[in-house]
C-alpha cells in the first residue's frame, strides 16, 4: 500500500467516533492500552481535552441486539446467586460511541429503526447503566435544552454516584449530574436533527478492589426539530437611560462572576431555557407532547456552557434584547418611594413604562401581537426603606403587546450556565440583606432566591399567555418548589425551617395546573408542525339559550372545555373537557348542549344552589363568559316574536357600560311566518358601530341603535332575484361593538363597517336547526352590546 494511503488510514481511525464490533487495535498503529498512535491529526491535542476521550479505542462490546455472541458474553459476570456484576473496565478506558451496519441511520436525520418503523433501542452495558424514564428512544422534541429524568440500578437498592452525559458529535462539552438514591435529572443541549447521546454512571460503591470505578453506559437517540412557524417569546432587559448597568449582588459574587450587563444576559438566558424545559416536560406529562413556546435566536458567542466563555465558541442561542428606556434610574426607582402606600398604582406605572418601551422597540403591527418577557436591570434593594425599588411582578397586555415584567433583585442567585444549574438550586448560602433582598421572606438562602426569581417570573409569563391564578400549581406560587424539577435532593429551607426533600421525584415537583396546560395547548405560541391548521377557521365561541332551559355552545374550531364558577369561587375548581386526550381539535365537537341542572350536579352539594358562572373555550383559543347561567336560560331570555312564536336571546357581546346605554332590539321580518323581503341593510358607523337599520319592501324599516356616525351610513343591498337573506354577522367587539360585517345565504359578505381592527372577532351564526329572528343589545352614544335572537 502506498505510504500516503497508510497515513490516510491511520487518520481515519484516529478521528473515528464510532467503531464496529469487529474493529480493534491493529499492530503498529496503537499502543498496548488501546490508544491510537500519535499522528499529525492528534499530535497537538492534550490528553485532558474532550477530544482525546473520543480518540481512544474502547473495549469491543456490542450495541446491536442481533450480535448474540457478544451479548451472551455479558452474562459472564453472573455469580452463583444469579446476581449480575459489571465486567471490569480497563484503566483509562470506557465504552465508546460505536455503530455497526445493522444500526446505521436508515435515512439522514432518523435513528436506526425496527421493521415496524419504531426506533431500535440500544441494550445497556450493565444493570447499573442509566435508564431514561421521561423520554423514549427516538423521540422528537422542539426545544434546545431538554430535561431528562431516569434511574441507575434498582431503586429498591439505592445507590449514589454521578452521571456524565456526552453529547452528540462532541458539539457540546460533557456535563456531570448527581445520582441520588439511584435517580438522576439532567439537562441536555441538543443540535438540530438527530442526537445520539451517551450516559455513563460512576459510583464509588461499584469500584474494583484497587479503587478504580467502573463506567456503566447507555445510549439514547433524540431528534430535535426547531420551530420557526409560531410567534416567539421575546426576552428583554430594560435599562434606564443613565443606568450603571449593574444589578444587586453581594461583594463575593461581584468579585467571582461580576454583576454587569453581560453577566445579567447570561443568567437571564439560562433561566429562560429552564422555563422552556420545564414547560415542555409539563405539557408532555399532560398528554400533549413536548410542546413549548420558542425563543428568537441569533448567532452569537455561546453562554450555555462555561467552556464557551473561555473558547469564544459561537452558537445559535436565545437573543436577549437590551431595551434602553427614556426614564432615569431615579425615575424608575422613585416610583416605589413616592407611592409606597399605593402599591397597585406603582406597579401599574412600571408596567406601562415597560409596555411603552417594548412597543417603541418592536413596533408591533395590527394582528401581529408581540409576546415579551422583560426584566428591569435597575431594580434595587433599599434596606433603609425596606422595599425593592424598581420592581413589579405583573403579566398581561393588550391586543398588540402581551407582556410580563419582573425585577433583577434575585439575579445573583441564577445559574449562568448548564453546569451551574444543580449548584444554584443546592446553594444554602444565607441571603445577606445588607446587599440583596429577601423577597417576600421566601428567599432566605441562594437556592430559595433562585426559586423565587426564576419561578415568579415564569408565573408572570403564565399571565402573559392568558393564565389566571389557579387553585394550585405555578399560578398559585408553587414555584417555591421549582428546584425539585432540576435536582433530586433538596437542601435545608429557611422558608419552612425544615430539611428539604431527600428524594425529589416527579410527584414532588412544581407543576403547571391542568387548566394552564389546556390554554397552552391551543395557544398560537405552542403550535407544533403536527397540529391541524386553524388559520382560516373562526376561533370564536358562542352560547345560545334554547327550549327547555338548555344551552347550546357552538364553535367552528371546536369546543375545547368549559369552566364552572359557583358564586364565591375566584379560581376554577370544576371543569369539563370535550376534546380527545391527544388534544386534537379534530376530535372536539362543534356544538355542545348543556343543561343547568346537569352542570350543577357536577358540583359539590353545598355549591349547587349558588349562582353559576361559566367560561367556554374553543380550540381556536377564544373564550366566552356567561355571568349568570340561570339568567341566560330563564324566561328573561325569551322574546315573543310578532307572529306569536318564541325567540331566544343568545349571549351578548360588549359590556353595555357606556354613558346613557339603553336596551334596543330590531326584528328580522324575513324569518316570520309571513316573511317580508329584505331589500338592504344600512350600518351607521364611525370608529365604532352606531346602529343597524333593515329596509323591507313596502317601505318598512327596523332600526337597532341610532343613526349616528358617518352621515347617511353605509348601505349593503341584497339580491332580490336570488331571495338572498341574512344568515349571520361577523362582529369585532371588546367593551363595545367596534365593527360589523353582514353574512348572506348566497355566501356573500359585506365590507367590515366600523373599526375593522378593533376588539376581537366573533362570528354570530345560529346553531343548526335555528335561524335569525332579530338582534338585541344596548346603545349609548354608540352600540355597546349586541346579540342575536334566534328561533326554530
Residue positions annotated with a catalytic role: 460
CA distance 259 to 241: 18
Strand 139-141 with 216-224, pairing: parallel
Cell numbers representing residue 550 in the block: 338548555
Q: Within 10 Å of residue 50's Cβ, how many Cβ atoms?
A: 16
The torsion region of residue 753 among left (phi > 0), alpha (psi -120 to 50) and beta comes to beta
Task: Please state the φ and ψ torsions of residue 614, each to the nearest 5 degrees.
Answer: -125, 150
User: CB of 58 within 8 A of CB of 82?
Assistant: no
Cell numbers representing residue 345 in the block: 398604582
Nearest to 62 by CA among 34, 121, 22: 22
CA separation (Å) from 339 to 173, 333, 394, 611, 647?
49, 11, 17, 38, 53
CA distance 115 to 110: 14
For helices 261-285 and 514-521, what crossing angle results, to 10°? 100
Nearest to 553 by CA among 538, 563, 564, 543: 543
Cell numbers representing residue 458 in the block: 415564569
CA distance 42 to 439: 53
Nearest to 554 by CA among 541, 538, 563: 541
The 3 state secondary structure assigned to 353-366 is HHHHHHHHHHCCEC
CA distance 363 to 366: 10
Helix (H) or strand (E) run with residue 417 in it? none
Strand partners, 599: none
Nearest to 788 by CA among 615, 770, 645: 770
Amino acid at each position: 500500500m502506498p505510504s500516503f494511503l497508510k497515513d490516510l488510514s491511520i487518520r481515519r481511525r484516529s478521528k473515528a467516533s464510532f467503531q464496529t464490533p469487529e474493529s480493534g487495535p491493529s499492530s503498529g498503529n496503537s499502543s498496548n492500552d488501546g490508544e491510537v498512535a500519535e499522528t499529525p491529526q492528534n499530535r497537538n491535542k492534550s490528553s485532558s481535552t474532550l477530544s482525546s476521550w473520543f480518540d481512544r479505542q474502547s473495549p469491543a462490546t456490542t450495541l446491536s441486539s442481533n450480535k448474540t455472541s457478544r451479548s451472551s458474553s455479558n452474562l459472564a459476570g453472573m455469580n452463583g446467586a444469579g446476581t449480575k456484576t459489571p465486567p471490569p473496565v480497563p484503566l483509562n478506558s470506557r465504552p465508546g460511541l460505536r455503530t455497526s451496519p445493522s444500526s446505521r441511520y436508515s435515512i439522514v436525520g432518523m435513528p436506526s429503526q425496527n421493521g415496524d418503523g419504531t426506533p431500535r433501542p440500544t441494550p445497556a452495558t450493565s444493570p447499573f447503566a442509566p435508564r431514561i424514564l421521561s423520554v423514549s428512544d427516538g423521540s422528537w422534541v422542539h426545544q434546545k435544552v431538554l430535561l431528562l429524568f431516569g434511574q441507575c440500578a434498582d431503586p429498591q437498592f439505592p445507590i449514589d454516584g454521578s452521571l456524565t452525559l456526552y453529547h452528540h458529535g462532541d458539539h457540546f462539552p460533557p456535563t456531570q449530574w448527581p445520582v441520588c438514591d439511584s435517580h438522576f435529572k439532567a439537562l441536555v443541549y441538543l443540535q438540530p436533527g438527530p442526537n445520539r447521546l451517551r450516559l455513563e454512571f460512576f459510583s464509588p460503591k461499584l469500584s474494583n478492589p484497587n479503587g478504580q470505578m467502573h463506567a456503566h453506559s447507555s445510549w439514547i437517540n433524540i431528534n430535535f426539530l426547531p420551530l420557526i412557524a409560531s410567534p416567539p417569546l421575546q426576552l428583554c432587559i430594560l435599562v434606564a437611560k443613565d443606568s450603571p448597568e449593574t444589578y444587586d449582588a453581594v461583594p463575593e459574587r461581584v468579585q467571582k462572576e461580576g454583576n454587569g450587563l453581560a453577566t445579567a444576559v447570561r443568567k437571564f438566558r439560562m433561566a429562560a431555557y429552564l422555563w422552556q424545559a420545564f414547560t415542555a416536560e409539563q405539557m408532555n406529562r399532560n398528554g400533549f407532547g413536548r410542546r413549548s413556546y420558542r425563543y428568537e435566536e441569533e448567532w452569537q458567542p455561546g453562554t450555555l456552557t462555561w467552556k464557551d466563555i473561555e473558547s469564544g465558541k459561537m452558537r445559535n442561542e436565545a437573543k436577549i434584547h437590551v431595551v434602553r428606556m427614556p426614564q432615569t434610574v431615579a425615575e424608575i426607582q422613585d416610583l416605589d418611594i413616592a407611592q409606597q402606600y399605593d402599591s397597585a398604582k406603582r406597579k401599574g406605572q412600571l408596567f406601562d413604562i415597560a409596555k411603552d418601551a417594548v412597543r417603541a422597540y418592536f413596533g408591533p403591527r395590527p394582528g401581529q401581537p408581540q409576546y415579551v418577557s422583560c426584566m428591569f436591570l435597575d431594580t434595587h434593594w433599599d434596606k433603609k426603606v425596606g422595599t425593592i425599588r424598581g420592581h413589579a411582578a405583573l403579566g398581561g397586555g393588550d391586543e398588540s403587546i402581551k407582556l410580563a415584567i419582573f425585577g433583577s433583585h434575585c439575579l445573583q442567585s441564577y445559574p449562568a450556565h448548564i453546569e451551574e444549574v444543580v449548584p444554584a438550586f443546592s446553594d444554602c448560602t444565607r441571603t445577606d440583606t445588607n446587599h440583596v433582598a429577601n423577597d417576600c421572606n421566601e428567599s432566605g438562602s441562594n437556592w430559595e432566591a433562585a426559586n423565587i426569581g426564576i419561578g415568579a417570573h415564569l408565573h408572570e409569563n403564565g399571565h402573559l399567555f392568558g393564565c389566571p391564578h389557579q387553585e394550585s400549581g405555578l399560578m398559585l406560587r408553587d414555584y417555591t418548589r421549582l428546584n425539585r424539577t432540576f435536582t433530586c435532593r433538596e437542601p435545608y429551607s429557611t422558608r419552612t425551617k425544615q430539611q428539604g426533600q431527600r428524594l425529589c421525584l416527579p410527584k414532588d415537583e412544581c407543576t403547571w395546573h391542568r387548566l394552564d396546560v389546556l390554554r397552552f395547548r391551543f395557544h398560537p405560541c405552542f403550535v407544533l408542525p403536527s397540529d391541524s391548521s386553524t388559520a382560516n377557521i373562526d376561533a370564536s365561541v358562542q352560547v345560545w339559550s334554547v327550549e327547555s332551559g338548555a344551552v347550546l355552545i357552538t364553535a367552528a374550531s371546536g369546543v375545547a372545555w368549559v369552566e364552572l364558577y359557583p358564586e364565591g369561587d375566584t379560581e376554577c375548581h370544576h371543569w369539563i373537557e370535550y376534546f380527545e386526550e391527544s388534544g386534537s381539535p379534530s376530535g372536539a365537537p362543534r356544538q355542545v348542549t348543556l343543561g343547568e341542572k346537569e352542570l350543577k350536579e357536577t358540583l359539590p352539594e353545598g355549591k349547587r344552589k349558588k349562582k353559576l358562572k361559566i367560561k367556554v373555550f374553543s380550540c381556536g383559543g377564544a373564550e366566552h363568559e356567561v355571568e349568570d347561567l340561570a339568567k341566560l336560560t330563564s324566561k328573561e331570555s325569551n322574546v315573543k316574536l310578532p307572529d306569536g312564536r318564541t325567540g331566544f336571546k343568545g349571549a351578548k357581546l360588549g359590556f353595555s357600560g357606556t354613558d346613557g346605554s339603553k336596551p334596543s332590539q330590531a326584528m328580522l321580518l324575513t324569518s316570520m311566518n309571513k316573511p317580508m323581503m329584505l331589500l338592504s341593510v344600512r350600518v351607521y358607523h364611525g370608529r365604532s358601530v352606531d346602529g343597524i337599520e333593515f329596509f323591507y319592501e313596502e317601505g318598512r324599516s327596523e332600526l337597532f341603535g341610532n343613526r349616528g356616525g358617518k352621515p347617511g351610513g353605509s348601505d349593503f343591498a341584497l339580491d332580490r332575484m336570488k331571495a338572498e337573506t341574512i344568515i349571520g354577522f361577523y362582529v369585532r367587539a371588546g367593551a363595545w361593538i367596534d365593527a360589523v360585517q353582514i353574512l348572506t345565504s348566497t355566501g356573500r359578505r359585506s365590507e367590515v363597517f366600523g373599526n375593522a381592527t378593533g376588539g376581537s372577532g366573533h362570528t354570530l351564526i345560529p346553531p343548526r336547526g335555528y335561524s335569525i329572528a332579530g338582534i338585541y343589545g344596548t346603545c349609548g352614544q354608540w352600540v355597546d352590546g349586541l346579540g342575536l335572537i334566534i328561533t326554530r
